[in-house]
Amino acid sequence: MKNVIALAGLALMTIGSYAQDRMTPELLWDLKRVGAANVSPDGKMMFYSIKTYNLEKSSSKSDLWLGGVDGLPAKQITRTAAGEGDAQWSPDGTKIYFLQDGNIFKMDVNGRNQEQVSTIEGGVNGFKLSPDGTKVLFIKDVQMFDVSANQVHEDLKDANARVYDDLMYRHWGGWEDGKRSHVFWAKMVDGKVEGQGLDLMPGQNYDSPNNPFGGMEQITWSPDGNSIVYTCKKKEGKEYAVSTNTDLYQYSVVDGKTINLSEGMMGYDNEAAFSPDGKKIAWLSMEKDGFEADKNDIIVMDLASKKKENLTADKDITVAGFIWGKDASTIYYKTCVEATYQLNSIDVASKKAKQLTTGIHNYTSFTLAGDRLIAGKQSMNHPTDLYSVDIATGTDKQLTDANKAIYDKIKTGEIEKRWVKTTDGKQELVWVIYPPDFDKTKKYPALLYCQGGPQSAVSQFFSYRWNFQLMAANDYIIVAPNRRGLPGFGQEWNDDISGDWGGQPMDDYLSAIDEIKKEPFIDEDRIGAIGASYGGYSVYYLAGIHDNRFKTFISHCGLYNLESWYGTTEELFFANEDIGGPYYGEKIPEGYIKNSPHRKAHKWNTPMLIFHGEKDFRVPLNQGMEAFQALQLQDIESRLITFPTENHWVLSPQNGVYWHREFYNWLDKYLK
């Protein structure tokens, strides 16, 4: 392949290490993970991170690589044990600034002459240089109130009780600790951060970026460096738990004043970006408060007149990310199209949009480099690599091949796109993934994959846990439907799941497996159903209605009892929108009766494996425990595996490999 950065030196392993010709759990964790490209100010060079994992130590680290945007050979420029975060170019392109161990550093472009440039008390969690390099913004944790008993009573040093008087006492994978992430700014003097910085949010009991998944994409400088725009949900306790109303706040570094740019807009507003000339600002916006999967539009505001325009209001899409073009006339954005993520452009004045790319893949991150976009691209069979995308033609050229040493030695299966008629007469896209060396004259076991979210597309994602290539390598055929409630097929299809979790989406699953299992190469007596989160819920629900279609089930962090789940989960806006509100009151939402899997547990008759993270506070551990208890009391073959240090996912290498070993041991026992 021409103009490909092989990165073969990363492998550091012999050919014998890859004697097997199929993907394994261990190889999956050997794969290098390529980060987003960061293009130099002159548009000629780029750096990016490559994250590697050490299975023996169950650890990871990231290093930076520098190469040309036209495919010139890249070289590794950092080799520190700690890794580098938030790396960014200096405005003149002569230095790279990065975060390490809570401090900001700078180095030459070749990675030499590393120098610490900040001494911020308590450390920094993220930062951004101003466009002229004279200032820096950063985020750090501020202790707003005490939670632990030993904070309140200093003589009780070993007391570890937590005290709460309001909701959001825990969130996703962590307990409330009384700390808030605040935005600060400081001057840069001789390339170093001056002092401790000025808090943009003094005394405010709010987070920016938004907790727990927001990053530095939610905070930005204006082109003139005179203001900072940050995203924040300025609500507390119960109000925070039931709302998605984040706003954009513009802070002036000149006079310290703050204004709300999105006041009156009730849903998520975030990821603001100024136009290159500084006259406009654009951001992603959802209209409805409390609906986390609402249509995501691009809003553009003229900063002089404060007039707002919705560029994508008349387009039946949801936007997953955007950047400005080289001037204020064009915006490039990413959206889901029939279960793939493609790059698009839109003219700001006319609102005329154009799809730039096509194909069976997902584009992930993307940034501008002259007349091209440098973008991450992945598929179900291949992790992310960087590509150069010609804006005029949509054609791409591969720039990195970080896992060539592995992929040269293994076989992958084919991915087929199928359309299946649903029970209500519509068409459902279903991916069918085949084993390597597939032989249509043989009979194979099959797996129905149930997606989580619930509003999360079964796109061409490459997962390091629900990895279809790995499933196929174990000689399973995977049936992965884009059932009701997923983006990429219009907002109506996406919204149809709310209030109907156990209705049409379940019919869509059964339509898919009933159609695909007609193929002569699928053994209909050896079919299982698997999934996590809402996919785990789907497994629990299908176990009560499947009429013996499936021979086994695997659920990871699934919702089992919607009533007890509502009483222990944290982001109640999600439950209020999708289930219909609390389970108590004079009028109980129908969803608790119709859609809760625990009400059909008496019909369960099939072996089931349950995984659950003990630190999962989104779908708490009691959900897996209740399901396991129902299985055991009915003498149904079952196993419960919990992970004390994992939350809604399995993120550590050794836990990940163990998860896969148990996953395939269970499937092989009942389907082979």
pLDDT per position as a tens digit, 312-326: 999 999 999 999 999
Q: Is the peptide bond before 212 cis (omega within 30 degrees of 0)?
A: yes
Specify the CATH superfamily of domain 411-577+604-671.
Answer: Alpha/Beta hydrolase fold, catalytic domain (3.40.50.1820)
Q: Taking residues 184-199, what's their average pLDDT?
A: 97
Q: Find, among 247, 356, 351, the residue nearest to 298 by Cα.
A: 351
* Predicted confidence (pLDDT) per residue in 85-119, tens digit: 999 999 999 999 999 999 999 999 999 999 999 99
Verify whether residue 648 is a known catalytic residue.
Answer: yes
Residue 14, pLDDT > 60, answer: no
Cβ atoms of 556 and 618 within 8 Å: the answer is no
Beta bridge partners of 88: 97
Q: What is the pLDDT of residue 379?
A: 98
- Length of the chain (residues): 672
Cβ atoms of 620 and 575 within 8 Å: the answer is no
Q: Find, among 565, 626, 625, 555, the residue nearest to 595 by Cα.
A: 565
Residue 20, pLDDT > 80, answer: no
Pairing of strands 198-199, 382-390: unpaired
Catalytic residue among 546, 578, 616, 652: 616
Q: Find, among 84, 123, 90, the residue nearest to 108 by Cα.
A: 90
Give me the DSSP letters along 446-487: EEEEE--TTT----S---SSS-HHHHHHTT-EEEEE--SS-S
Ramachandran area for residue 254 (φ above 0: left; ψ -120 to 50: alpha; else beta): alpha
Give the gyration radius of the chain's Cα atoms: 25
Parse the chain into domains and list their residue ranges: 269-352, 411-577+604-671
Q: Taking residues 384-393, what's their average pLDDT?
A: 98
298 alpha carbon, distance to own chain's centre? 20
Q: What is the pLDDT of residue 73?
A: 84
Catalytic residue among 171, 648, 652, 660: 648
Residue 233, pLDDT > 80, answer: yes
Helix axes 504-516, 534-542, angle to 10 degrees: 70
Strands (E), 19-81: 33-34, 38-39, 45-54, 59-68, 75-76
Cβ atoms of 181 and 145 within 8 Å: the answer is no
Residue 427, pLDDT > 70, answer: yes
Q: What is the pLDDT of residue 128?
A: 98
Q: How far apart are CA 229 and CA 303, in angstroms?
A: 12
Q: In which band, very low, low, confident or very high, does the pLDDT at 16 lie, cut at 50, 70 and 90? A: very low
Q: Taking residues 504-532, what's their average pLDDT?
A: 98
Q: Is 399 helix (H, G, I), strand (E, B) or coil?
A: coil
Q: Taking residues 320-345, what's their average pLDDT?
A: 97
Q: Is 314 exposed, middle or buried (0-12, 13-18, 19+ CB in 10 A)?
A: exposed
Q: Find, among 509, 588, 599, 511, the residue nearest to 559 by Cα.
A: 599
Percentage above 70 pLDDT, the chain: 97
Residue 142, pLDDT > 90, answer: yes
Q: What is the pLDDT of residue 140?
A: 98
pTM of the entire predicted model: 0.95
Q: What is the pLDDT of residue 9?
A: 37
Q: How far apart are CA 353 and CA 356, in angstroms?
A: 9
Q: Which range (5-9, 98-102, 366-370, 554-558) has the least confidence?
A: 5-9
Q: What is the pLDDT of residue 400?
A: 96
Residue 13, pLDDT > 80, answer: no
Pairing of strands 59-68, 75-76: antiparallel
Residue 477, pLDDT > 80, answer: yes
Q: Edge to edge, what strands does the sheet with 415-421 contain?
A: 415-421, 427-433, 477-481, 444-450, 522-532, 552-556, 608-613, 638-643
Q: Find, among 393, 391, 351, the residue nearest to 375 by Cα.
A: 391
Element holding 445 (H helix, E strand): strand 444-450
Catalytic residue among 275, 533, 596, 652: 533
Residue 641, pLDDT > 50, answer: yes
Q: How far apart are CA 383 and CA 417, in angstroms?
A: 19
* CA distance to 86, 176, 263, 344, 435, per residue, from 284 (Å): 22, 28, 14, 15, 39
Query: How many helices, marked H, and strands, marked E, lie in the chain?
Result: 13, 40
Q: Return all residues near 55 (Cβ < 8 A) that are at least 6 apart.
A: 26, 29, 30, 653, 654, 657
Q: Is 561 helix (H, G, I), strand (E, B) or coil?
A: coil
Verify whether residue 361 is a known catalytic residue.
Answer: no
Among the residues of 543-652, which ranges form H helices?
562-566, 572-578, 591-594, 621-633
Q: What is the pLDDT of residue 8?
A: 37
Q: How far apart are CA 139 and CA 199, in angstroms?
A: 9
Over the chain, what is the mean pLDDT?
Answer: 95
First to last CA, the chain: 39
Verify whether residue 538 is a known catalytic residue.
Answer: no
Q: Taking residues 142-167, what's their average pLDDT?
A: 95
Residue 373, pLDDT > 90, answer: yes
**b/e 575-595 (16+ beta carbons within 10 angstroms → b):** bbbbbbbebeeeeebebbeeb
Strands (E), 533-624: 552-556, 608-613
Residue 19, pLDDT > 80, answer: no
Q: In which band, very low, low, confident or very high, does the pLDDT at 3 lie, cut at 50, 70 and 90? A: very low
Q: What is the pLDDT of residue 11?
A: 38
Q: What is the pLDDT of residue 538?
A: 98
